[in-house]
Chain A
Amino acid sequence: MSQLLQQLINGLSIGSVYALMAVGYSLVYSIMNFSNFAHGGVIMLGAYFGYYYLTSVGLPFPIAFIASALTTCVLAVIIERGAYKPLRERKAPFLYFIISAMGTSIFLENIVIATIGPTFRTYPEVLSRTPIQLGSVSIGRLDLAMFIISAICLALLVFFIDHTKMGKAIQATAYNIKASALMGINTDLVIIVVFALGGFFAGIAGVLFGMKYTVYPQIGVITNKSFIAAVFGGLGSLPGAVIGSILLGVIETITSGYLSSQYRDLIAFVLLIAVLVFRPRGLMGKVTEDKA
């Protein structure tokens, strides 16, 4: 029983990191209908910025945290301007966006390898590693912090989308970008805001990830999992991204805990395929035909 509880907590904490990463994919997808694979690269840069703000610049943790989120926020917008806007203006097919996104992601990974170096780096210890004991179950302080930070960020995001004018504009653009433009919504600005939001979350996710594990140029590989979680929950849907991520985290831990860790990815992804076969739009996705 205590093992089940422990595994659930493990799953929740892994899932909450997936969730922070997954909302970035979902936000962009909801507006532009393509999967922004450069997101993984931005998360990786977020982890590196956080590391350097903490060690080389010597900022206190909360400031370094916000600073790296803001930096990746700007970076995400620059990527949009450089890699996607020219394509948008030329009304390029969606496939080109995806290829451009993959290119950017490989570019970011390799520029880090070429400039900073390929070896991983370790964050200084910000939170004590001694876990909080609740009976026989132990919860890492960092996991708790991650869970709370993710929850706050996601709550703020939902509030922003539902209760601000810009949020309404995002919803309208997500529904139909051409009609929204005709109604006088500045869709170009909406796109910038969406990328900025995605970038901000990428920074937060990157720093949290770097603190928990390590920082290395191939972090993007892990973010593939969060992309899959986003598809699982329904690309384009924020609650879907969160639920998909948490579910994936829990399924993974339960599989490795009770069956075998070797079956973890196998079972998680068979389930994913099953969901997509029977419910192609994911658990909570909006209904569209042209998915890429």
Chain B
Amino acid sequence: MFKKTLALLLVSLMIVTLALSGCSKPATETGSQAGGADASAGDVIKVGWMGSLTGDQAVWGQCELDTIKMLFEEINAKGGVLGGKKLEVIGYDTKGDPQEAVNVAKRLTGQDKVVAILGPNASGSAIPIAPVLEEAKVPDIATVATNPKVTVLDGKVKPYNFRVCFIDPYQGAVAAGYGYDVLGFRKAAILYDVADDYSQGLTEFFEEFFTTKGGTIVAKEAFKFGDVDFRPQLSKIKDANPEVLFLPVFFKEAALIANQARELGITAPLMGGDGLPSEQLFTMAKDAVQGTYIVNHVDYDDPEVQDLKSRYKNKYGKELELNGYLAHDAVVLLVDAIERAGSADSVKITEALETADVKGVTGRIKIGKDTHNPEGKEAAIVKIEGDKYVFQQKYSAKLD
């Protein structure tokens, strides 16, 4: 009898744990629920957020959500928007899973009736939510989703998708241009994630621009998400003897690759996109990533970002990750659109977003009507020296 009870207990414990971690529960709710179910009425404007709160990119997701919470609190303390309405964020975990992102989008638009959605940071999750947004007529402002397909598909702009960051072709082109013209590299190797849109996008455009300029790709190797050992590919790359190793990947893979590359005796400098910068990069591979060039959205030493950085650090006791800066700009863009729309109606907000031109901490964000991208945004080239990202220069590449 006792054993039966024990077994039952164990089973119910398992179910409870599964339920707790398996379902995406609202990660946060700021402010009161006074507004009731109808978002446009009452004193509260509900804004959705989605992103990874579990998985490799949880560091970034958490930072985005925390930044938005902090900014909303600040805005609410100053009297809110539209003359006194409070902003409230409802955040859900996408687990970095595109399928889950669609569920979250349905939940935010259908159940929570938000007026707009901020995030996600991953292109893989931002691309599939478009039909949900179009059905609900709710705009989404992606933070660091840099794949072109997030806002434009088959040459047609998606009506409800916007973003505050530049796009992959641009990042790949900047990396190739800066590497070839400024640093003088002629032979490059690429190690990319074959199962990831972001990685593939950067690779494609890096390769195209680097070879058009006259450089050669001496090795192009792939791995699959979840891999932790890259030595077979790196041994091959070492044989090709490149002058620079381009890594269009995220920081965890970048750190592992950097360590393993140095172990194999590859001394070429590394170069990467906005997936690299993270405090974690230094804990994992500080020595191996020295001298790495990164195409980034923001210069961390820019005087204009210091205020946001210190506000975040004072509140949460952590360094602000890259995503926080773009989450900040997404909030700025949204608040501007709400004010100009003069109402919390999601269709009017969408219209206002199309003509937005605001100044964020990552630069001027002038939304292009045909692309829904911030146009002509400059990239910041930073170089890792010690445990700092040292700003090199602003660099913009011409596409076409």
Contacts and interface: CB of A to CB of B under 8 A. Distances in A.
A172 to B, nearest CB: 28
Contacts of A7: 232, 235
B235 A119 contact: no
Interface of A: 3, 6-7, 10-11, 14, 82-83, 86, 103-104, 106-107, 110-111, 113-114, 117-120, 122, 129, 131, 133, 138, 140, 212-214, 216, 218, 221-222, 252-257, 260-262, 264-265
Interface residues of B, number: 43
A255 to B, nearest CB: 8
Interface stretch (B31-39, B49-57, B303-311): B49-57
Contacts, number: 105
B96 to A, nearest CB: 10
Contacts of B263: 129, 131, 138, 140
Nearest to A112: B21
A6 B14 CA distance: 45
Which of A133, A138, A253 has the most chain B CB atoms inside 10 A of its CB?
A: A138
Nearest to A132: B263
Given A122-B283, A138-B265, A214-B256, A110 B22 contact: yes
Contacts of A257: 232-233, 235-236
Contact of A213 (B228, B233, B264): B228
B239 interface: yes
B58 A119 contact: yes
Nearest to B287: A129
Interface stretch (B148-156, B216-224, B330-338, B367-375): B216-224
Interface string B102-145: 00000000000000000000000000000000000000000000
Contacts of B21: 110-111, 113-114
Contact of B265 (A131, A216, A264): A131
A111 B22 CA distance: 11
Contacts of A253: 231-232, 235
Nearest to A6: B235
Nearest to B18: A110
Main secondary structure of the interface of A (DSSP, over half): helix
Given A120-B252, A122-B284, 5 more contacts: A6-B238, A6-B264, A103-B14, A104-B14, A138-B264
A177 to B, nearest CB: 21
Given A107-B18, A119-B59, A253-B231, A260 B222 contact: yes
B259 interface: yes
Contacts of B265: 131, 133, 138
B7 to A, nearest CB: 5
A101 to B, nearest CB: 13
Which of B21, B56, B239, B288 has the most chain A CB atoms inside 10 A of its CB?
A: B21
B232 A256 contact: yes
B288 A129 contact: yes
Contacts of A113: 21, 54
Given A120-B252, A129-B262, A213 B229 contact: yes
A213 B256 contact: yes
B20 interface: yes
Nearest to B223: A261
Nearest to B9: A82
A82 B288 contact: no
Nearest to A136: B265
B212 interface: no
A37 to B, nearest CB: 14
Interface of B: 3, 6-7, 10, 14, 17-18, 20-22, 53-56, 58-59, 194, 221-224, 226, 228-229, 231-233, 235-236, 238-239, 252, 256, 259, 262-265, 280, 283-284, 287-288
B20 A221 contact: no
Contact of B233 (A214, A216, A261): A261
B24 to A, nearest CB: 12
A82 B4 CA distance: 11
A86 B7 contact: yes
Given A129-B262, A138-B263, A138-B264, A252 B14 contact: no
Contacts of B59: 119
Which of A119, A214, A252 has the most chain B CB atoms inside 10 A of its CB?
A: A119
5 contacts: A7-B232, A213-B229, A222-B226, A261-B194, A261-B221
Given A10-B232, A129-B287, A257-B232, A120 B224 contact: no
Nearest to B52: A118
A214 B252 contact: yes
A163 to B, nearest CB: 35
Contacts of B18: 106-107, 110
Nearest to B56: A120
Contacts of B236: 3, 256-257
A177 B235 CA distance: 48
A126 B253 CA distance: 20
A212 B280 CA distance: 16
Please give me the 4 A-B residue pairs with the lowest Cβ-Cβ distance, nearest first. Answer: A118-B54, A256-B232, A213-B228, A253-B232
A74 B56 CA distance: 29
A221 B287 CA distance: 29
Nearest to B234: A10
Contact of B20 (A14, A83, A114, A213): A114
Which of B232, B233, B265 has the most chain A CB atoms inside 10 A of its CB?
A: B232
A214 B228 contact: yes
Given A129-B259, A214-B228, A253-B232, A110 B17 contact: yes
Nearest to A131: B263
Contact of B17 (A6, A111, A265): A111
Contacts of A212: 228
